[in-house]
Amino acid sequence: MAGSVHRPSGVDLRVSVGTVRLKNPIIAASGTFGYGVEFAHLVNLSALGGIVVKGLSLEPMAGSPAPRMCETTGGMVNAIGLQNIGVRAFVFEKLPELRKYDTAVLANVFGRTVEEYVEVIRILNDAAGLAAYELNISCPNVKQGGVEYGTDPVLAAEVTAAAKRASRRPLWVKLSPVVGRIGVIAKAVEAAGADAIVAANTYPSLCLDPHTRRSRLGSTTGGLSGAAIKPITMRLVYEASRAVQIPIIGLGGIETAADAVEYMVAGASAVEIGTAHFVDPRASERLVETLDAWCRVENVFEISSLRGSVRD
Q: What is the pLDDT of residues 189-209, one digit of tens each?
A: 999 999 999 999 999 999 999
Point out the catalytic residue in the list 70, 139, 207, 295: 139
pTM score: 0.95
pLDDT tens-digit profile of 84-107?
999 999 999 999 999 999 999 999
Spatial distance between the Cα atoms of 101 and 99, rounded to a whole number of angstroms = 5
306 backbone dihedrals φ, ψ, rounded to 5°: -80, -25
166: amino acid identity, one letter: A
pLDDT at 7: 66
pLDDT tens-digit profile of 231-254?
999 999 999 999 999 999 999 999
Q: Return the SS3 of 302.
A: strand
What's the rounded mean pLDDT across residues 41-52?
98
Give the whole-number percent of the chain exceeding pLDDT 70. 96
Q: In the chain, where are the structural domains located? A: 15-64+102-202+226-306
pLDDT tens-digit profile of 111-145?
999 999 999 999 999 999 999 999 999 876 767 76
pLDDT at 3: 46
pLDDT at 146: 67
Greatest CA separation found in the chain? 57
pLDDT at 215: 97
Q: Who's near 191: CB < 8 A, 6+ residues apart?
A: 157
Spatial distance between the Cα atoms of 25 and 283, rounded to a whole number of angstroms = 14
Spatial distance between the Cα atoms of 282 and 183, rounded to a whole number of angstroms = 33
Pick the CATH number of 15-64+102-202+226-306 from 3.30.450.30, 3.30.1130.10, 3.20.20.70, 3.40.50.970: 3.20.20.70
Q: Who's near 250: CB < 8 A, 6+ residues apart?
A: 199, 233, 234, 237, 263, 264, 266, 267, 268, 270, 271, 272
Write down how long the chain is: 312
Judge whether 70 counts as a catalytic residue.
Answer: no
pLDDT surpassing 90 at residue 8: no
